[in-house]
Structure 1
Amino acid sequence: MRFIHTADWQIGKPFKQFGDRESVLRQARLVAIENIGRLAAKEGAAHVLVAGDVYDTEAPTPRTLLEPLERMRRFSDVQWHMLPGNHDPHRPKGVWDRVLESGAPANVHLHLKPEPVDFGPGAMLLPAPLTRKTEGADLTEWMDRAETPPGAIRIGVAHGSVVGFGSGGEATNPIDPRRPALARLEYLALGDWHRTIQIGPSVWYSGTPEPDRAGGQEAGQALVVEIPGPGAPANVTSHKVGSYRWLTIEEQLSDAGELEDLETRLRGLPDLSSTILRLWLKGTLQLSGRAELDRRLLGIGAAMFYLDVDDTGLAIRPSAADLELIDFGGVLRHAADRLKAVAEDAAVGPVEKRRAEDALVQLFVMAVGTGA
C-alpha cells in the first residue's frame, strides 16, 4: 500500500514578527494542504496520514477551524486521517468536538481513540491520540497488545518525542523508538519534530509541510510511504510541498572588502523572493564598512521575502579616516570622539556599547552619506 505521511500543519499559527506579511505565511499553510492533496493524486496514494498538530491552538476561530477541512474536501478521492497532537489535544468540547459538530467532510477521518481502525485493504491503523498537551507515559504502548486481522499491515501513528526515552527523569509525550519491533509495526508515523528525519528502519518524522522558524527545517516536506506487504520494509521518499524556505546563515566579517562577496552569495540563493533568511553577523567593521553593509543589506532585503539580521556580534571600530570624514573638529567630531570612547570602554555594558556604535553609524551616514 502507498500513503502520504505528514504532520505539524499548525493551521492558524501567528507570525506577528512579519507585520503585514503575516497573512501570506498563514495562507501558505493552507496552500501546503492542497500541495499534499496533489502529491497524493500524483503518487496514487489513497490515504494521507496527519500525525498530530493539525491546528496551532485548541481554540481556533470558526474560520480557521474550517479552512483545512475545506481544502481536504476538494480532494474527494483522498482519505485524510487526523490525529490530535500537543497543540490540539482531544478534550471534551474541544477543537475535535467542534470539527465533528461542523460536519466534517466524509473523506476526513478523526482518530480520537487508541483503537485499531481500517486503513485501506489489508492494512490497520493504530493511533495514539493525545488528550492533553503533555503526557509522562508512552501512549504508543497499547499497540503492543492491539489485535489486528492475520496478515494485516500494521501502521502506528503518534505525536511526541523519542529523545531520552528510558533515560529517567521527567519526560513529556515520550515514544519508544523500539515500538515497531515491540508492536509488529511495518511503519510508525510520527509528528512533533519540525524536521524530516528517520529514527529507525520503520520510524520517521515527516517534518512540517511549511516551515515556521529559523534554524528549523529549510523547506516544507511530506513523505510518500510504500509498504509492499506484511513484514516488508517501508520505502520512504521525501517530497517538497512548502512554498517558503527558511534559512539561517552565519557570517564573520573583518573588512569592507568582504561585503561584495557576501552580497553576491546572498543574491545567488535560489528562490530569493520566497526566502526567509536569519543572518547572523559577527566580527568587526570600520564605520565606512558598516555603512556600506547597511546599504547592501537594504537591497538584499528588498529582493527576499524577509531578511532578519542579527548584528549583536558585529562590533564597530571607527578608524581615524572614518572620524575625519565625519568632521576634522567641531561639534560633530566631538560627538564622534565621545561615542567612540563609550564603544571602546571595557567598563561599559553591552547595551550602552551597542547604542554608542549605532549612534556612530547614524552620525557617519548623516555627515558622509550612504555612498561612502
Structure 2
Amino acid sequence: MSDADIESDSICIGLAHGAVQSFGEDGASEIIAPDRAQQSGLDYLALGDWHGQISINDRTWYSGTPEPDRFKHSMPGKALLVEIDGSRAMPAVRPLETGSFNWQKKTMQFLSGESIDERLEEILPEISLRRSTLLQVAAEGRIRVRDRLLLEEAIGDVAPDFASFEMRSEALETEYEISDLDTIDQAGALRQAAERLMHEAGLDPDPHGVSASALSLLYTFSVEES
C-alpha cells in the first residue's frame, strides 16, 4: 500500500481487517500500525475485526458492527458516516446508531440488609427501552437468604419486559441467621438438618457448595409451604 501510485488530487481510502498494536489481542497474526494511514498516504483508513466503535486517530476508525451479537462491548449497533471534502482534507466522522437491540452488562453489588427493589431499580433501563434490551446482570457481594428469594421474585417480574434478561449469581454469597432457621422449623428433624447444613456451609470455602445449596433449597421449600 505504501508503494501505490496515488494521484495527488485523489481521495484515498483504505480498508483493512485486523488488530491495531495499541489494543490487539495476544496471538493476533496481523498487526496494523496505528499510523498506517499516514504511512500509506491515506485520507481515511476503515478498520474491521474489533466489533466496538473506536477512533484510533483522526484518519483511522473501527466502525463497530451494525447489530451486536454478544455482550462484550455493551453498546448499540453503530456505523460511521465519513465525509471527506478532498485530498488530504481531514475526514468528518459521525457515528450513527443502526442496531435494533441494545446489549447491556450490569453489576449489582450487594451488602446484607440492602433494599432489593432499590438496588434493582438502579440498574434497570426505562420501561420503554426494555423490549429492545438484552440485559446480563452479575450479582456480587453478600445477601440474606430471604432477600435472595425477594431478588429472584423481582427478577421474575421484570424479566418478561426485556428481549433477554440473564442473572449471573455465582459471585453472590448467601448469609443465614438463626431467625432464618426458624422459618424452616422451630424444632425437630428439619431444624436439626438446617443447623447442620448451616454449620457445614460455614466451614466450606465454596459459598455455593453442596451444603449451602441444600440449605437454600430447604429454606425455599419451607417458605413456599408456609
The two structures have a TM-score, normalised by structure 2, of: 0.90
What's 1:365 paired with? 220
Q: Which moved more, 1:281-290 or 1:361-370?
A: 361-370
Note if 1:315 corresponds to 2:173.
yes
Q: What does the per-residue CA deviation read over 1:276-309, in whole Å, with 9 as the maximum and x for residues that have no partner?
A: 1121111111111111111111112222111221
SS at match of 1:291: helix
Contact 2:71 2:104 (C-alpha < 8 Å) held by counterparts:
yes
Note if 1:199 corresponds to 2:47.
no
In the superposition, relative to structure 1, how do residues 199 and 164 fare at CA in structure 2: closer, same or farther (>3 Å)?
closer
Sequence identity percentage: 32
Instruction: Tell me which of 109, 116, 121 is aligned to 1:252.
Output: 109
Contact 2:76 2:101 (C-alpha < 8 Å) held by counterparts:
yes
The two structures have a TM-score, normalised by structure 1, of: 0.56
Structure 1 residue 323: Cα displacement:
0.6
Q: Which amino acid aligns with 2:55?
A: Q
Q: Which amino acid aligns with 2:149?
A: A
| TM-align CA RMSD | 2.1
Q: Which amino acid aligns with 1:350?
A: D
Aligned-partner Cα distance in 2 for 1:158–1:148: 18
What's 1:137 paired with? none
SS at match of 1:243: coil
Find runs of 4+ consecutive structure 1 residues off by over 4 angstroms.
none
Aligned-partner Cα distance in 1 for 2:11–2:62: 19
Aligned-partner Cα distance in 2 for 1:161–1:231: 25
What's 1:331 paired with? 189
Contact 2:48 2:64 (C-alpha < 8 Å) held by counterparts:
yes
Instruction: Tell me which of 330, 350, 356 is aligned to 2:206.
Output: 350
Contact 2:139 2:171 (C-alpha < 8 Å) held by counterparts:
yes
Contact 1:218 1:246 (C-alpha < 8 Å) held by counterparts:
yes
Structure 1 residue 201: Cα displacement:
1.1
Q: Which amino acid aligns with 1:175?
A: I
How do residues 177-326 of structure 1 correspond to structure 2 at under 5 angstroms? Answer: 177-269=34-126, 271-326=129-184
Q: Which amino acid aligns with 1:286?
A: R
Contact 1:291 1:365 (C-alpha < 8 Å) held by counterparts:
yes
Unaligned 5+ runs, structure 2:
none
Aligned-partner Cα distance in 1 for 2:42–2:219: 66
Structure 1 residue 349: Cα displacement:
4.9
In the superposition, relative to structure 1, how do residues 359 and 307 fare at CA in structure 2: closer, same or farther (>3 Å)?
farther
How do residues 1-40 of structure 1 correspond to structure 2 at under 5 angstroms? Answer: none
Contact 1:208 1:220 (C-alpha < 8 Å) held by counterparts:
yes
* Aligned residue pair count: 223
More strand by share: 2
Contact 1:255 1:284 (C-alpha < 8 Å) held by counterparts:
yes
SS at match of 1:209: coil
Q: Which amino acid aligns with 1:309?
A: M
SS at match of 1:271: helix
What's 1:151 paired with? 9
Structure 1 residue 360: Cα displacement:
2.1
Structure 1 residue 260: Cα displacement:
1.1
Q: What does the per-residue CA deviation read over 1:134-191, in whole Å, with 9 as the maximum and x for residues that have no partner?
A: xxxxxxxxx11112333110000000011259xxx96421101111111111100000
